[in-house]
Amino acid sequence: MNDSPLQLPNCWQELQRAARAARQQAWAPYSRFPVGAAILTDCGRIFVGCNVENSSSGLTICAERTAVGAAVSQGFRSFSAIWISLAGMPLPCGACRQVLAEFQPDLLLILDQVDRDDQLPPELLRLSALLPRPFRLRLPDHS
């Protein structure tokens, strides 16, 4: 059995650092559940987001959607991976799954469980495993 730490590719180490730093900026006074996300574009740029809670809980913005919004606002729409840093190991909510699937239905998700004594390695999975049939609006052809 190999007890050595997981060796992450360099770009993943950058994603990990960025997601963990974003998590430190989260505004989570109600849930006390800070989340950070770092999304990697196909051309190697990293954009971050954190959850921003609101006393009207329906107005809360998740870290994953904040990261996507940051990337899209800078003109990036093609993604290869997203690193999500959180305590515990819940999966992205349904709204985040749908937003991520809008841009990359088979996106690589890297779930990083922090604040634990045993420091589990990140969990890797594909968005398509969590949302196999995302909603797709078929727009009429106006040509």
Name all contacts of 17-20 with Cβ < 8 Å and 24+ positions apart.
18/46, 18/48, 18/83, 19/48, 19/83, 19/84, 19/85, 19/112, 20/85, 20/112, 20/114
CA distance 52 to 70: 14
Domains in the chain, please, with CATH?
10-130 (3.40.140.10)
- What mean pLDDT comes out for the span 52-68? 97
Whether the per-residue pLDDT at 131 is higher than 70: the answer is yes
d(CA 19, CA 143): 43
pLDDT (tens digit, 9 = 90+) per residue, 85-111? 998 778 999 999 999 999 999 999 999
Choosing from 14, 64, 102, 123, the catalytic residue is: 64
* 102 assigned to active site: no
Q: What is the mean pLDDT of residues 30-44?
A: 96
pLDDT band for 2, please (50, 70, 90 cuts): very low
| Higher-pLDDT residue of 90, 18 | 18
Mean pLDDT over the full length of the chain: 90
